[in-house]
Structure 1
């Protein structure tokens, strides 16, 4: 760490070094959830967390291909390929675009994000609906559908962050369930759990993400994918490495093994399995002028402008204005005895599908808030 100041000087704008130093000291001494800390504007992303579910469908041809698989085994491989191909966008694309990982904007309660990927080559239109369903703790719920292919992905996500050995550790809470309607009218479901994250490079003001531990994809048909994530020095000896083991119903014998790097390529039995180095397809979104006041890009327009243009005073001022308005709104709701009403989701005490699928893959179901899509809205 002897060269940290020099390296930080290259990554941190001169006007922001004082606030960055104070932020690092706060992280190192903080014992609670780090997401409650206010980060210096230069380390902020110009997009809100409500936009993140779009990463699930930025390769819509792989999402739609799940419906075209002919049997349970091939569908599991299609789901696995699609899932692995979403990871680059979720966890490294901002490094490529901005030079390092940035902290996304914390959504406000009720914030909305809508988008779609148009039908091309018979793949059907894929639609996205996202709503911030809780602010404390922050929880984002989403629904992604392709009606032509009879696919529906519903999930919610939250994060708990802590500091350990110079890294920020992010435990991703939540899960997603993919529903696939088969030609005979029956339904297959897939539980998708989320990996943990380790954010390194924070001492130098240049954070980057590595995935850790294990996540699972459990099908109601009995097929299971167990995905282990490791960084440099394990498996291939390269960053962003993973190894996925696919087993059949009522079996512990490995049927397929896929290894490689989730941000580039992987192979199954020596044959190429996935390659995400080509262009992805950005979600189509209405312009900020066409959006309502609760939609992300309208809500955070001036904050994002300040971040992108390096006008940190503008970004900080507008961000504080939004946060102060939200705090006042919560006080007014409490005083009136009228809590905020969600638009697209309802809170549920339990999720039977999650509990059933989690038990199938021997994952201990966690006690967490559940949100169910009400069936209204663009999705």
Structure 2
């Protein structure tokens, strides 16, 4: 039966047939793995060091959170059960450590994954217990890998020998062909000699002699080819012995290293137990307790086999503050520790989709009006993506401290460029926000700012954004995204103006976003480019910075993703030159002198030559987190944006069920939920239009009004925009969300 199940491992059983309702499909290969894991569980306790077991908290879902489970590590397999009593009959899951990766998140959390559908997010009750599990898991993994290597030993040798035998067979075939060539060549030359003996003169005789010479050259060349093939085979056979010896030496070296690692791990365990025993003894002496160990206390024998039970009611976040004696500048004990933000999300599943079947009907259309499956998405909404503009908010913090408005302009321009660095590998499409959807990013304690976004219009889709910082600046924007599919590429054109206002000097800056282009939509690897020109304007002083995002060109000698800019005062005099790339870094140089000359530009105008001081760094991109390629290439900030958080509005993007299901990898359910939310939004719009048509005006229209932003005329640009009217953070403080609509 097991063999039959293994042969059917690629099949899937619908969850409904197993009585699981809408749960994900159960793969038969996972059933077999679980079955084998349960069968491999020893009937009696294994020798010390071969088995570890204990209570660990395992992440289940965002409703139940972490649940306590009984984990057993045996024979290179990590299995878990709901209770100890289940060990005899029901195994809930098993991971083979030989092919698993073990990563550590923080002081108490760790993750075990086999690279496929099985990933365990675990949390120990304390850092010591977590470290003991990690040590045990690493030891078990090393043994499992070594056993696999031993079982597969000699496979490389057999492959080398098989290859050499194949080469030898082919050379024999060539020799046979060479014999035939020689035989037929000799017959050909005899025939040619007979023709030559006829004493033909003139052109015919010359032709016969020419053919005879060519036949002789052909036979000589074929003989040389066969000799070269024999030499090659002899050389390969001679070197194969060296390869086999080197391979065997490498294998022996690896075994020695694994044994040394195992010995070090055992010594680490021993020292850890000794330290814990000494600490317990000191605690007993300090409390004037009994000198010896009590009956219920842990012993070395217990340590080899059992772990301490994890806490029943573990806190959501566990912090380990620095001792006051070691950190005299640490905050007082009354100040609450900062919230521990997550550093990982579930890996992106490898789901395939026929892209052309969906995109072929979208050429020339606005994609914001076309329902798209979540397979094109990343698990973030457009509101969260808009909040990512704050990835390098410290540039505005530095700008707020500048005494010179021209130097301040350099930091504002760098902030404008830095917003694109998060997009370089981000080919996924963010979720289109529902009308009335909001997203807050409260980083007041960590970084001094609070951010709020709200979807204020559905057609055209528009989002309003407002940020207030305790460090002397305010940022606001209303962005409408227009997109067009052109066949080979997709153009995304953000429309709207971004405003940055600094309290010191009341400097008010505005700028717009450039066009984003996604290339190779149908064939090839997707890649993103930013192109266009931007004017950053200080409306208080008249200063201006002209930025140019150079489009990628195969024939250009310039560095890819290049950005250049010049900071000028109101009279047009250049003071700073900016240069760099939108995905790596920007530098600025002070202009000492400028002159016109040199080559003519693309439009026949003379280029301006700037003499500058040494360049200084303005901004540099932060490195991506480890494993970002499996997490949609999210930055450290992006990984935290969809993290569940208490107290946010019921309309917050973190509460979107389709987006949450997609983050979990349950894409089919996410697509169904996405369709439900879109239909609910359409029904709400029809109801508003019906109410408007029944009013005195009788004109059917959508009379929707935003909750936290109000529509008014911008005093700087003259545009009709939505500006934050206040009240959100006060409502959060009171927990009063009565005005929020039910959109999810």
TM class by shorter chain equals 0.7 to 0.9
Structure 1 pair 45–205 and aligned structure 2 pair: CA distance change class (3 A): farther
Contact 1:50 1:130 in 2 (8 A): yes
- Superposed displacement of residue 161, structure 1: 1.3
Cα deviation, 1:210-237, whole Å, max 9, x if unaligned, reads: 1111112100211111111124348763
| Matching of residue 273 in structure 1 with residue 618 in structure 2 | yes
Task: Pick one of 570, 594, 612 that aligns with 1:249.
Answer: 570
Q: Which residue of 2 aligns with 1:45?
A: 378
Instruction: Please state how far the C-alpha of 1:307 moved relative to its aligned partner.
Output: 2.5
Corresponding position of 2:106: none
SS state at 1:58 partner: helix
Q: Distance in 2 between matches of 1:330 and 1:14?
A: 34
Among residues 653, 660, 667, which one is paired with 1:312 in the alignment?
667
Aligned partner of residue 411 in structure 2, secondary structure = helix
Q: Supply the distance in 2 between the matched residues of 1:75 and 1:266 (Cα, whole angstroms).
A: 15
Of 694, 717, 724, the residue aligned with 1:373 is: 724
Could you tell me how far apart the structure 2 residues matched to 1:131 and 1:56 are? Answer: 15
User: Secondary structure of the residue that 1:67 maps to in structure 2?
Assistant: helix
Q: Which residue of 2 aligns with 1:292?
A: 649
Q: Quick one: distance in 2 between partners of 1:314 and 1:50? A: 22
Map of 1:135-146 to 2, 5 A cutoff?
135-146=458-469
1:43–1:12 Cα change, 3 Å: farther
Superposed CA deviations along residues 96-135 of structure 1, whole A, max 9, x for unmatched, are: xxxx511111111110001122445xxx611101110000
| Partner SS state of residue 203, structure 1 | coil
Cα deviation for residue 45 of structure 1 reads 1.5
**TM-score w.r.t. structure 1 length?**
0.80
1:23 aligns with 2:358: yes
1:175 and 2:539 correspond: no
- Per the alignment, do residues 59 and 12 of structure 1 end up closer, same or farther by CA in structure 2, a change over 3 Å counting? closer
Contact kept in structure 2, 1:263 and 1:277, CA below 8 Å: no
- How many residue pairs get aligned? The number is 335
Q: Whole-Å Cα distance in 1 between the matches of residues 583 and 352 of structure 2?
A: 33
Q: Residue 323 in 1 paired to residue 323 in 2? A: no
- Counterparts in 2 of 1:104-253, with a 5 A limit? 104-119=430-445, 125-146=448-469, 148-164=470-486, 166-182=488-504, 186-204=505-523, 206-220=525-539, 221-233=541-553, 237-251=558-572, 253=573
Cα distance, 1:378 vs structure 2: 2.6
2:419 equivalent among 70, 86, 98: 86
Change (3 A) 1:27 1:369: farther
Q: Aligned-pair distance for 1:376?
A: 2.5
Question: Shift in Å at residue 40 of structure 1?
Answer: 3.2
Do 2:411 and 2:618's aligned partners in 1 also have CA atoms closer than 8 Å? no
What CA distance in whole angstroms lies between the structure 1 residues aligned with 2:525 and 2:680? 31
Return the offset for 1:34: 2.4
Partner secondary structure for residue 239 of structure 1: coil
Cα pair 2:714 2:720 within 8 Å, conserved: no
Alpha-carbon distance in 1 for matches of 2:510, 2:477: 10
RMSD between aligned residues: 2.6
SS in 2 for 1:322: helix
Deviation at 1:341, TM superposition (A): 3.0
Do the aligned residues in 2 keep the contact of 1:42 with 1:310 (CA within 8 Å)? no
Matches of 1:374 and 1:82 in 2, distance apart?
Answer: 25
Q: CA deviation at 1:13?
A: 5.8
| C-alpha contact (below 8 Å) 2:494/2:515 kept by paired residues | yes
Question: Are the structure 2 counterparts of residues 369 and 34 from structure 1 closer, same or farther at C-alpha, using a change threshold of 3 Å?
Answer: farther
Output aligned runs, 1:63-74, within 5 Å.
Answer: 63-74=396-407
Tell me how far 1:63 sits from its aligned partner. 2.1
2-structure distance, mates of 1:206, 1:332:
44
When residues 332 and 15 of structure 1 are mapped into structure 2, their CA distance, relative to the original with a 3 A threshold, is same
CA distance in 2 between partners of 1:307 and 1:178 (Å): 34
Report how far residue 44 of structure 1 moved: 1.0
- Gaps in structure 2 of 5+ consecutive residues: 1-347, 590-614, 625-634, 693-701, 731-744
Q: Counterparts in 2 of 1:326-365, with a 5 A limit?
A: 326-337=681-692, 339-348=703-712, 350-355=713-718
Q: Comparing both structures, which one devotes a greater share of its residues to strand?
A: 1
* 1-structure distance, mates of 2:579, 2:373: 38
CA distance in 1, matches of 2:618, 2:459: 40
- Alpha-carbon offset, residue 281 of structure 1: 6.0
Task: Name structure 1 gaps, 5 residues minimum.
Answer: 1-10, 356-367
- Please tell me whether the aligned partners of residues 382 and 433 of structure 2 are also in contact (alpha carbons under 8 angstroms): yes
Distance change in 2, residues 1:27/1:238 (3 Å): farther
Is the Cα–Cα contact under 8 Å of residues 654 and 660 in structure 2 kept in the other structure? no
Contact 1:46 1:105 in 2 (8 A): yes
Deviation at 1:189, TM superposition (A): 0.3
Structure 1 residue 289: Cα displacement: 5.7
Q: What's the secondary structure of 1:107's corresponding residue?
A: coil
Q: Structure 1's 32 and 266: CA in aligned 2 closer, same or farther, altered over 3 A?
A: same
